[in-house]
């Protein structure tokens, strides 16, 4: 699955953050990423989540501090499993 009709792109000011292993909800690969962004609470300045960029498919996945993953891990008949065209 490609973003932007196959146009080569990158994430601006992509940071190296705390590394994380997860199963990507877009490409279904078990990945290890240390590239992403911290999400900061504007009031308290505390971190309230993070976004990781999948090294396999380059799509972003959001994690809350409680560990909720959005999108979640793919299931057997995932709706994200759309034709690649
Ligand atoms: Zn992926």
CA of 30 relative to ligand 1 center, distance in Å: 8
Higher per-residue pLDDT: 8 or 83: 8
3-state secondary structure of 52: strand
Does the pTM surpass 0.85? The reply is: no
Q: Please, which pLDDT band fits residue 9 given cuts at 50, 70 and 90?
A: confident
CA of 56 relative to ligand 1 center, distance in Å: 5
Q: What percent of the chain has pLDDT over 90?
A: 73
CA of 38 relative to ligand 1 center, distance in Å: 19
Angle, CA of 83, 22 and 64, to the nearest 5°? 105
CA of 60 relative to ligand 1 center, distance in Å: 8
């Amino acid at each position: 699955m490609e973003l932007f009709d196959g146009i080569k792109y990158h994430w601006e000011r992509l940071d190296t953050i705390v590394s994380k292993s997860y199963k990507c909800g877009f490409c279904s690969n078990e990945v290890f990423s240390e590239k992403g962004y911290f999400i900061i609470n504007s009031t308290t300045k505390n971190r309230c989540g993070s976004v990781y960029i999948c090294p396999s498919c380059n799509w972003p996945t959001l994690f809350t501090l409680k560990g909720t993953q959005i999108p979640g891990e793919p299931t057997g008949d995932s709706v994200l499993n759309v034709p690649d065209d």
